[in-house]
Amino acid sequence: MALKFAAKLADLVEDEPLGVTIGEQHIALYLLNDEVHATHNVCTRQFALLSEGYMEDGCIECPLHQGRFDIRTARRAGGSRRGLHRSLMRTIAERRT
């Protein structure tokens, strides 16, 4: 699988999701406790962009129906309904001088 650029680490803000599109994939990026996580950016129930939702306690909340998903596991928080697809992501830090 080829690496694709998603965003600069400096573009990510703690507890503020960032929506990006790579090819035809809509991805939400999250910075949580200095770790980057990624899921698909589309809610599996209401098809809303999760990057427009509210992030709290390690979960992203759908802006339409307030369903919550754990950004670390992509599972639905507090329920057995379908979770999100986790995006495969490798973080590469490059030091520039």
Q: Supply the mean pLDDT for the chain.
A: 82
pLDDT of amino acid 77? 81
Domain ranges of the chain: 1-97
- What tens digit of pLDDT does each residue of 50-82 get? 999 999 999 999 999 888 988 888 888 876 566
Confidence of residue 95 (pLDDT cuts 50, 70, 90): very low
Q: Report which of 83, 47, 77 is spatially closest to residue 65, judged by C-alpha positions.
A: 47
Would you identify the CATH topology of the domain 1-97? Rieske Iron-sulfur Protein (2.102.10)
pLDDT of residue 30: 93
